[in-house]
Amino acid sequence: MTGNKAGMALGGVLIGLGLSFIGYVPNLLQYPAETLTGILLLSTIVPFGCRILMSVLMWFYDLSDSRFEEIVRELNESRASKAKN
């Protein structure tokens, strides 16, 4: 749960920084083409790039059947030791 909240906070910060970087000013009647292009990039290309990066990272994550069984065993042992205390 904490990781999810931290990720949402980090995402919000990055969006704010991105908008600042592209020169976004709220409540204008008409925005410059550069700002509109920057907003388009922030809402499409940047998330796509992050998704590609996560896919590459997951490619190297070892989750074979034996590793999965090891993780389940460790979790069960941890729960059992907490239940005793």
Domain residue limits at 15? 2-84
What is the number of domains present in the chain? Answer: 1
Contact 22, 35 (CB under 8 A): yes
Query: What is the rounded CA–CA span in Å between residue 85 and residue 80?
Result: 9
Residue recorded with tokens 């920084």: 17
| Each residue's pLDDT tens digit, 8-35 | 898 889 889 999 999 899 999 999 999 9
pLDDT value of position 70: 94
Residue 3 predicted with pLDDT over 90: no
Report field, pTM of the whole predicted structure over 0.75: no
Cα four-point dihedral sign 33, 36, 50, 11: positive
